[in-house]
């Protein structure tokens, strides 16, 4: 019998700001980056030297945007006027988000009151769940309790900024770094080569003089121009991989792999220069996956996002699947950015093959050529209206003009994997 999720029945009293009277759970307008006001929910309050700061979640936005704000950012007059719905937070769940989309965010009107939100109908909810691979079974009471507990534990970021190589990076989410490294500080210093983390800059400066690593541990299995991929075994390089997962958790909301890294292989994408191999991102995969997943977790570090590296990581995962002579698919659910990257990659690859190929192709043919799972091919072609269902089978229905029209709308792959430069043999699986 599965253990029940521990629930805290003895609720602690909510923090209250004695000056403003605001408390955790209150919703009110907050001045955002472009000076317009957005509806926010207070998640936590801290007071230092009699000055209060508020950790807020912007309603209908991803938790990565949660932040500490000062009282001057909050529209307390609107709060007192009762223009923001559930002001006392009795029916709210701090830190939760609704499905985001072009119609979802709660924008506050010029008078400080919240504009009317679109109602989420059952049909919209069903479509959202289908698009995001949300299984109804995920909503059972035990899972819901675990999810609520996860959000409670991770609702406030414990690290605001990391210094990583030449970059200072704002973090997005909580990561379970030891409390002695995060208490009374908002910044961590992380060595970009060995991934060791430190509290103080002077400690980092001393570490740089001693650290002789200039690339990830493990084997370099791909090199092309200034791009390299390294394969790192979680069992052989346990500390490195655990530290990698801690970094990843700063930018992935629902990543749960922190310490159990032994069953996984990690593929680190680096850019090379005269000073070493600088980590751009990575993906992990199980050494043996009964579900034929070819990717467990994927991350492109924020300074390298929107430059094509995410698709390069995805392309590399499928190149490994081709070497294994298997079809593969990423573990679900994907993050919001992961979904966008995969959908874009699948569109590009499938349209490119359909454009170049002369003659008919089946779903099975496309899967064999790309190592993409048939289900992912079907969902992608369906989204492009390129499939017909006839006599119990999916038939690809295209013309050169339709393909060309879609190709023009699809973002091109900035970088490609050159298969001849991959030097790799599949991990040996010994079945007991």
pLDDT tens digits, one per residue of 360-384: 899 999 999 999 999 999 999 999 9
Give the pLDDT mean for 127-139: 41
Q: What percent of the chain has pLDDT over 70?
A: 79
Q: 85-120: string of b/e by CB count within 10 Å (b at 16+)?
A: bebebeebebbebebeeeebbbebeeebbbeebeee
Pairing of strands 227-233, 219-224: antiparallel
pLDDT higher at 124 or 305: 305
pLDDT at 412 over 90: no
Intervals of CATH 1.10.10.10 along the chain: 339-409
Q: Where in the chain is the domain with CATH 3.30.60.60?
A: 161-288
Threshold 0.85, pTM exceeds: no
| Fold annotation for 27-114+126-134 | SH3 type barrels. (2.30.30)
pLDDT-derived band at 16, boundaries 50, 70, 90? confident
Residue 26: what pLDDT? 95
User: Per-residue pLDDT averaged across 177-181, rounded?
Assistant: 95
CA distance 20 to 93: 22
Q: Which fold has domain 161-288?
A: Wheat Germ Agglutinin (Isolectin 2); domain 1 (3.30.60)
How far is 184 from 403, CA to CA, in rounded Å?
56
Check whether 304 has a pLDDT greater than 50: yes
Residue 119: pLDDT over 60: no
Looking at the chain, the domain(s) classified CATH 2.30.30.140 span 27-114+126-134
Active site annotation includes 220: no
The active-site residue out of 41, 331, 414, 418 is 331
Q: Please give the pLDDT value at position 391.
A: 76
For residue 239, what are its two tokens?
Answer: 């500390």
CATH number of the structural domain 339-409: 1.10.10.10
| pLDDT band at 160; cut points 50, 70, 90 | very high
């Amino acid at each position: 019998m599965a253990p029940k999720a521990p629930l805290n029945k003895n609720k602690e009293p909510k923090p209250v700001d004695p000056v403003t009277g605001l408390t955790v759970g209150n919703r009110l307008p907050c001045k955002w980056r472009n000076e317009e006001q957005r509806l926010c929910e207070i998640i936590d309050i801290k007071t230092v030297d009699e000055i209060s700061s508020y950790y807020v979640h912007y309603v209908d936005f991803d938790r990565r945007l949660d932040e500490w704000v000062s009282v001057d950012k909050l529209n307390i007059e609107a709060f007192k006027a009762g223009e923001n719905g559930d002001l006392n937070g009795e029916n709210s769940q701090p830190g939760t988000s609704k499905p985001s989309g072009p119609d979802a965010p709660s924008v506050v009107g010029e008078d400080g009151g919240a504009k009317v939100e679109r109602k989420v109908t059952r049909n919209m909810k069903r479509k959202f769940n289908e698009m995001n691979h949300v299984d109804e079974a995920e909503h059972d009471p035990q899972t819901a309790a675990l999810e609520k507990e996860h959000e409670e534990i991770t609702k406030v970021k414990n690290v605001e900024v990391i210094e990583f190589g030449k970059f200072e990076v704002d973090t997005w989410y909580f990561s379970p770094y030891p409390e002695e490294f995060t208490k009374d500080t908002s910044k961590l210093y992380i060595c970009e080569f060995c991934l060791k983390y430190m509290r103080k800059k002077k400690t980092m400066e001393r570490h740089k003089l001693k650290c002789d690593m200039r690339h990830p541990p493990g084997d370099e299995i791909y090199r092309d121009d200034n791009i390299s991929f390294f394969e790192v075994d979680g069992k052989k390089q346990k500390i490195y991989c655990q530290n990698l997962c801690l970094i990843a958790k700063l930018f992935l909301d629902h990543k749960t792999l922190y310490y159990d890294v032994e069953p996984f292989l990690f593929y680190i994408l680096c850019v090379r220069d005269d000073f070493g191999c600088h980590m751009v991102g990575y993906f992990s995969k199980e050494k043996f996956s009964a579900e034929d997943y070819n990717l467990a977790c994927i991350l492109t570090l924020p300074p390298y996002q929107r430059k094509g590296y995410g698709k390069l990581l995805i392309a590399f995962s499928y190149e490994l699947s081709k070497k294994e002579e298997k079809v593969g698919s990423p573990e679900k659910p994907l993050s919001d950015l992961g979904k966008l990257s995969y959908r874009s990659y699948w569109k590009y690859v499938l349209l490119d093959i359909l454009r170049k190929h002369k003659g008919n192709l089946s779903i099975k043919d496309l899967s064999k050529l790309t190592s993409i799972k048939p289900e992912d091919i079907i969902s992608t072609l369906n989204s492009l209206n390129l499939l017909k269902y006839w006599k119990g089978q999916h038939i690809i229905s295209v013309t050169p003009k339709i393909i060309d029209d879609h190709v023009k709308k699809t973002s091109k792959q900035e970088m490609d994997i050159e298969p001849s430069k991959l030097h790799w043999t599949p991990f040996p699986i010994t079945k007991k």
